[in-house]
Amino acid sequence: MELFALLAGLAGLWLGTELTIHGAVAVAERLGVPEFIVGLTVLSIGSDLPELAIAVDAAIWNLRAGEASDIVVGSALGSCLGQIGFVLGITGLIGFLKLPKKDVYQQGSMLLGSLVLLGVFGLDGQVTRVEGVVLVALYVSYLFLIYLNVISLRNSNNGVPDSSLAVSLGYLVIGLVIVVGSAELTVSSAVSVATTFNVEQSFVAIVIIGLGSSLPELSISLGAMLKRRATLSVGNLIGSNVFDTLVPIGVAAAIAGLEFNAGMWRQEVPFLFVLTSVVLFFFIRKIGIQRFEAIIILSMYVAYVATKFLGAFQ
């Protein structure tokens, strides 16, 4: 029953996020912003609502003397790994992912820098309220810099979406309601699954929730590639990883403070850093992510999941 509830929660997160993104993209199109920026901001934030909702709900559990820190940190790191490893790998198998070197250096520096900062904060086994505020503030600053870039490079509006602004906002509101409600079901059922099957919370959060909450990114990225809009796909994945590294953990820590599992600090953080570095290397030195590079990235992720799976049941 707990497993069914967990799957239902993940399905609700996916549905709510899809509705939210539909409305957000329609609103963004009216502003005529570049595709890469849409992916980097609107799509990434919209598709990462599950991680944020889970983090906030789990933080409230912590305030009630619960033990949900592993769910927050694990789902955020697991989502980053799922996006940069599984989603980008699958997407690269069906199309050529490329990005200008200028964007690779800028966004890559933000990706790796955010992860290093999180690692430094988690070194003592916790992320304090003050450190949580710093993480969120860094992301807000990042969005502000993107906004300044949009102002300087803003495109003329190329068209108006079919739906009216009121309908688009309606999708946003309905999607948010579904996401928030599903987050409660996901957190509670994840804890129950971990207890029932005697599996570590960190495994459930990193692999099941992390990969499950990456389904919106997979849907968006595959759809963008099929429509030959590679920059939209890449922007979504990069923006999502920056968001997941900083915002869910930052918000949850600002609410209640978080314990940072030593195992995640020694395993997930370094592996995510290495995997991200490999992806950035391919973008810079291999012109982009082609099929061969996608196979390497996907293989690294599959090997990681297999290792976590075997370790969880020992």
* Of residues 29, 25, 42, the one with CA closest to residue 155: 29
pLDDT at residue 127, as a whole number: 92
In this prediction, residue 162 has a pLDDT band, given cuts at 50, 70 and 90, of very low
Taking residues 262-282, report their average pLDDT. Answer: 92
Mean pLDDT of 23-50: 72
At residue 47, φ and ψ (nearest 5 deg) are -75, -15
pLDDT at 161: 47
Q: Is 46's pLDDT higher than 60?
A: yes
Q: What is the mean pLDDT of residues 171-178?
A: 72
What is the residue whose two structure tokens read 């309606």? 170
pLDDT above 80 (res 247): yes
Question: For 41-77, b where at least 16 C-beta lie within 10 A, e where not — what string?
Answer: bbbbbbbbbbbbbbbbbbbbbbeeebebbbbbbbbbb
- Give the pLDDT confidence score for residue 20 in this predicted structure: 67
Higher pLDDT, 103 or 139: 139
**Whole-number pLDDT of residue 176:** 62
Q: What is the mean pLDDT of residues 238-256?
A: 91
Q: Tell me the per-residue pLDDT of 83-96, one tens digit each, with 9 for 90 and over.
A: 899 889 998 888 88
Q: Sign of the CA dihedral 203, 209, 212, 213? A: negative
**Which pTM value belongs to this model?**
0.79
Secondary structure of residue 259 in the 3-state scheme: strand
Residue 271 carries which side chain, given as an amino acid letter?
F
DSSP secondary structure string for all residues of 14-66: HHHHHHHHHHHHHHHHHHT--HHHIIIIIIHHHHTHHHHHHHHHHHHHHHTT-
Please report the pLDDT score of residue 151 as a whole number. 76
Is 236 a residue whose pLDDT tops 50?
yes
Mean pLDDT along residues 257-281: 91
pLDDT, mean of residues 293-299: 93
The answer on pLDDT for 239 being more than 50 is yes
Question: How large is the average pLDDT for residues 54-71?
Answer: 75
| pLDDT of the residue at 235 | 85
**Amino acid at residue number 244:** D
Mean pLDDT along residues 176-190? 65
pLDDT, position 206: 67
Second-level CATH architecture of 36-157+200-312:
Up-down Bundle (1.20)
Query: What are the tens digits of pLDDT across the range 139-158?
Result: 999 999 888 877 776 555 55
Do residues 126 and 260 make contact, with C-beta atoms less than 8 angstroms apart?
yes
- Bridge partners (DSSP) of residue 160 are none
pLDDT for residue 114 is more than 90: yes
Sole residue written with tokens 């940072």: 260
Q: Where are the alpha helices (DSSP H) in the chain?
A: 2-31, 35-37, 44-47, 49-63, 69-81, 88-94, 101-121, 129-153, 165-196, 201-203, 210-212, 215-226, 230-256, 262-266, 268-285, 291-312
More confident site: 24 or 236: 236
CA distance 70 to 274: 22
Q: Is the confidence at residue 219, as pLDDT, over 80?
A: no
117 confidence band (pLDDT: 50, 70, 90): very high
Tokens encoding 166: 């009121």
How far is 44 from 142, CA to CA, in rounded Å?
13
Rounded to an integer, what distance in angstroms lies between the CA atom of residue 251 and that of residue 92?
A: 32
Taking only Cα atoms into account, the Rg of the chain, rounded to an integer number of angstroms, comes to 18
Range 196-223 average pLDDT: 68
Tell me what percent of the residues of the chain surpass a pLDDT of 70: 69
Mean pLDDT over all residues of the chain? 79
For residue 186, pLDDT beyond 70:
no
